[in-house]
């Protein structure tokens, strides 16, 4: 770092970019797999929304039950 005059942050950022570029360059993006991941993420968000919408217990009651066990 002394030779280049970089700060630790600059070095870490530069090395991170080099590693990112290296690993992204190993294989071309798999569009089919990316679509699968996007669909799974959407399903997960919908499931979370449904769970939260079905919750009818306020936090204080939940906490009291949780701490009682």
Whether residue 21 contacts residue 14, with contact meaning beta carbons closer than 8 Å, is answered with no
pLDDT tens across 18-35, in order?
Answer: 999 999 999 988 999 999
Backbone angles phi, psi at 33, to 5 degrees: -65, -40
Tens-digit pLDDT profile for residues 56-68: 999 999 999 999 9
DSSP 8-24: HHHHHHHHHHHHHHHHH
Ordered by start, the domain boundaries in the chain are 8-68
In this predicted structure, what is the pLDDT of residue 5?
A: 87
């Amino acid at each position: 770092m002394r030779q280049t005059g970089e700060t630790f942050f600059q070095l870490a950022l530069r090395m991170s970019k080099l590693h990112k570029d290296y690993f992204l360059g190993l294989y071309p993006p798999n569009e089919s797999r990316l679509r699968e991941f996007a669909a799974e993420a959407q399903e997960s968000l919908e499931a979370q929304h449904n769970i939260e919408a079905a919750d009818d217990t306020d936090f204080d009651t939940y906490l009291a039950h949780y701490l009682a066990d």
